[in-house]
Amino acid sequence: MSIPHINLSDYREGDAQTKQAFVQTLGKGLEEVGFLTVGGHGLDKEVIAKTYAMFREFFALPEAVKCQYDKVAGGARGYTPFGREHAKDQKLPDLKEFWHTGQELPAGHPLRAEYPDNVWPVEIEGMEAAVTGLYRQFENCAATLLEALADYYGLPKSIFSDMITDGNSILRTIHYPPIDGGMPAGAVRAAAHEDINLITLLIESQGAGLEILTQENEWEAVHALEGDIIVDSGDMLHRLTNGVIPATTHRVVNPVEGENRSRYSMPFFVHPFSACDLTVMDHFVTEERPAKWPPITAGRFLQQRLEEIGLIKK
C-alpha cells in the first residue's frame, strides 16, 4: 500500500465535505499505514531552510566544541555525539549525531520545573530564535492533526491535542555523516524502530534513505514532495488506541555508492506532558478486544523506552 497524502489546508480552510475527506484520509492512513505525507502544514519554509543551514554549520564544528553541549539534562537537551543511540534490541549504534530542543515555558508556569532549560551553541548566531519559532509551528501543526484524528473517531475534538499542551515534545535535528570504513560494520544510519511518542512530524531531509515496513512486510521508500512533511504514529498512540493505530516500523538505510553524502533531517517528536494518562481509551475497548496494556503515565512510559535505546541509564 502506498503512503497517503493530505493537505492540512483542506482541514483548516475547506468546506464541510473537504474537511470530512481530509479526516477520513488521515484516520484511515494512520490505521492502515501509520505514515502520511502532509502539504499545507503551515511551517515556514524560510525558517526551515535557515534552521538546516545553522545545524549544518554546527555539525561541521570540531567534536570537542560540539561535546561542550553533550549530556545536558542527560541528553534531553543539546548534543548527542555520533554512535551513542541504538534502536531497541540493537547492539550496533545508529550512524548519526543529533541535537535536542525541548519545551520552553515561562517562569511561574506550573509545569516549568518539569523541563530542563534548552542550550544553544554560542558558535551559531540566531539559532535560538529560529528553532524556538519552529518548535511552536510544529506544535500548532501537531495539535491540528490530533484534532482531526479525534474527529475521525467522533471523540471530543481536543481529547488528543490537550495531551500535548505544554507537553514534552522534542525537536531533534539529525546529521548522518557520509559512511566511511571506520564505522562499525553492519551499522546503519537508523536501524529499524518505532517512534516512542504520539505522532512524529518529520521534515524530510534532502536525501533519500527513509523506509517503512509495510503491513505486507516489505520495505518501502518514503518519498515526500518537496516542501511536504511526513507524519507517523508512535507507540503512545498505538497504546491509547489499543493497537488500532500501529506504530509503523521504519529505518534510514545507508546511501548507495555515488550518493555517499551527509544527510540531515528534522523529526519533531510530539509528546504529552509527563503526568498524562496513557491508559487505553474506552473508545477502543470492546468485549472482543479488551485493553491490551495496563495504565501508565506518559512520563513513566518514556523513561522505560529511553532506557531501552541507551539514551538514559537504568
Ligand X SMILES: O=C(O)CCC(=O)C(=O)O
- Residue numbers of the site for ligand X (CB under 6 A)? 172, 174, 190, 195, 202, 205, 210, 250, 252, 265, 267
Pick between residue 100 and residue 242 the one whose CB is nearest to ligand X. 100
235 binds Fe ion (CB under 5 A): no
Measured in degrees and rounded to the nearest 5, phi and psi for residue 146 equal -70, -30
DSSP per residue, 204-223: --SS--EEEE-TTS-EEE--
Pick between residue 147 and residue 195 the one whose CB is nearest to ligand X. 195
Q: How far is the CB of 264 from ligand X (least distance, A)?
A: 8
Q: Which residue has the cell 475521525?
A: 152
Q: How far is the CB of 195 from Fe ion (least distance, A)?
A: 4
C-alpha cell at 172: 531533534
Pick between residue 233 and residue 242 the one whose CB is nearest to ligand X. 233
Pick from ligand X, Fe ion, none: which does 71 bind, CB < 5 to 8 A by kind? none
Q: Which stretch binds Fe ion (CB under 5 A): 8-16, 23-31, 33-41, 194-202?
A: 194-202
Pick between residue 30 and residue 127 the one whose CB is nearest to Fe ion. 30
Pick from Fe ion, ligand X, none: which does 50 bind, CB < 5 to 8 A by kind? none
Q: Which residue in 195, 211, 228, 235 binds Fe ion (CB under 5 A)?
A: 195
Pick between residue 43 and residue 252 the one whose CB is nearest to ligand X. 252
Q: How far is the CB of 5 from Fe ion (least distance, A)?
A: 20
Nearest partner of 84 among 198, 163, 187, 3, judged by Cα:
187
Q: Which amino acid is at 306?
A: L
Q: What strands, in cross-sheet order, belong to the sheet with 5-7?
A: 5-7, 35-39, 229-233, 199-203, 263-270, 170-176, 97-101, 78-80
Pick between residue 22 and residue 269 the one whose CB is nearest to Fe ion. 269
Q: Which stretch binds Fe ion (CB under 5 A): 128-136, 195-203, 289-297, 298-306?
A: 195-203
Q: Bridge partners of 202? A: 230, 267
Pick between residue 159 and residue 183 the one whose CB is nearest to ligand X. 183
Q: How far is the CB of 195 from ligand X (least distance, A)?
A: 5
Q: Give SS3 for 246.
A: coil
Burial letters 169-206, b for 16+ CB under 10 A, else e: bbbbbbbbbebeeebeeebbbbbbbbbbbbbbbbbbbe
Q: How many CB atoms lie within 10 A of CB 161?
A: 22
Q: How far is the CB of 285 from ligand X (least distance, A)?
A: 29
The two beta strands, 5-7 and 35-39, are: parallel
Nearest partner of 268 among 71, 58, 98, judged by Cα:
98
User: Which residue's beta carbon is nearest to the bound ligand X?
Assistant: 265
Contacting positions for Fe ion (CB under 5 A): 195
